[in-house]
Structure 1
């Protein structure tokens, strides 16, 4: 007899494709920064401000998107998000003022990609998996790295040959191309297919019914309850530094910083894509470790190692990528978003059924940190003519994040949450199959 593939794996596969696209779409401004500066003569800080708004909305949208997924379903939210990305990217070809860049790449693309951010990962793994949850979280998170790997070198080459407008249209077309796949294969809950979550025992609690209350009230209520705990602020503080030292600084300014030292943008984009390649391995390994090792210890080690690597980065820039830079790329890449699986696990440990929404707020802090770093690094570059100070500050902050992570208290109990979603009426004769908590 052949063993049938559990539908959870198909859902995870489609989610991976959507996450690959979301990460690639969001990272695109990194290769457009200098072309926009050269064509429109806008200051680097102005263009960085558009990236900052993108990063903030990418994070702030996450908890509301997680709540919307609870109310309207994953499929509808993700499909709408892809259409929003396509609209924002496509409209950029008509812009002639910096506020239009902020509207298109900052607001529209930020909202769209934020709806497919890491809270989406927490929602999918929380609903569809009991066993292998940490590993699947790592694989889906690695989709972000794969997005960089696929899009950045391609778009850098397209921009060099055909200009940034062609690249914007490629992003728009790619986003629309994913919509049919999402509508075809992505499912909201195991009960929709008459199955339980992967690895769920038959006697486990039934899967929670869809939320009928307002998504905004659900998201804000989860924040109010979580904000009364020490764990939330330690997680949010560490993750804010995580965002500042990845998306905000390296993701946005590595290419222009390398260009300042004579390296071509195509070469720098390829190095950044290589970070994504090694991040795939690092994040999957982190997910595997999260199922086996205390997440607090993992976070402390990840942040400390990242801090050390950023402190040496300024001395590695040159016209070509030497062996030392390649060592940095490999080391830093393995650590890029390895922090996500243990952070998701800790949110679930401390906040239980509200873990996905609370993680959305923790992820919002990640993007606020990224936005501050993106703008601050642009200002440092404009004022000092070099990014060196930005790298040193980021290294010190990463070591501070390691300390915050190790201050988290070990507990086997879920922190009580005062918010409870309203319970819908289930028609007579309906029965929800067993699933996870």
Structure 2
């Protein structure tokens, strides 16, 4: 099937040649003649290379983390893109519903109708649809089998790609993104709650004064109304979402800097500072990526409802509850109360509830196909990753024929932000059987 495709004239940004692409794809790939949506992707190549020569380079499709993450907006090559631009034309995909693709958020989803209609629409926004989009895009670009690079949820999408369209892949690289192939979402959250608890312990061992300060902030929020710049009250459980800092190497130290600016002296006492509240708002708002919350548990759904798995598993880990004596910071888990407290999500509460109880999720992976995989695949697995558990990742790696693992304790989930060039070069060398350091 061919799809309509338009491309902008190339333009340059700081040594990059940039072209914007728009593709018209089916909303439901099982009904190719039905309703369509737009998927946007941006091409980057080295502007120092003559354009005819650059156009001879093979394609690399970058599959962003998420769900609900748009492709990176590059201002110049750096990190892994600097390394990749030596070998490829890079295609940054705005996965359906994100960025410049047909949007799906509180403003646009009412166009679909009621909550049930919205949930049915969003059921077509998972990895299986993203991969089907990618295959149509590959054909529209005239590419043979291409290279994919999947970070986090992009790795989940890669496993779906390897399951259902391996003919479209030359080789695949994955960082922090080997999803469990089977089992309920509860398996994931039991593992990651333990990882997040260990990361909290590591953080407070490094900054013991922040244990006292974290507890002080939590108690203050439970007793004194404090409001985010968007107008809603900041609750203890929402403050705990600052644990997103713990998913990175140097980002962990950013939490320490944030807490140092928490309180400010005033004539009426010491409230939370405007600086602190502004920073926390940027951490806890899903206005820029609502699909992360709405679709999050569905990425683990296969043939059964997820039914707010993280919230149910939380009952087994009371140390994470906001009323705990010394509450811990949370990880990537999504809870029903998000849709009460975040103005960007509140209009989507009923839709999210319907997705949580949906039972007819199709399979995202084909274990039999993965067991006979012939596509070269290399994956970075981070020993202490709080978002994608190391043990579950290795279980998946063992189930994919020929998948090579590089495990590292030097990086956390956002390792490519710390040494993207080195990680990319290592994985590319692995799939091409080049000597490794």
| Greater share of strand | 2
Greater relative CO (CA pairs within 8 A, separation 6+): 1
Structure with bigger gyration radius: 2
Question: What TM-score, normalized to structure 2?
Answer: 0.28
- Structure having the larger proportion of residues in helix: 1
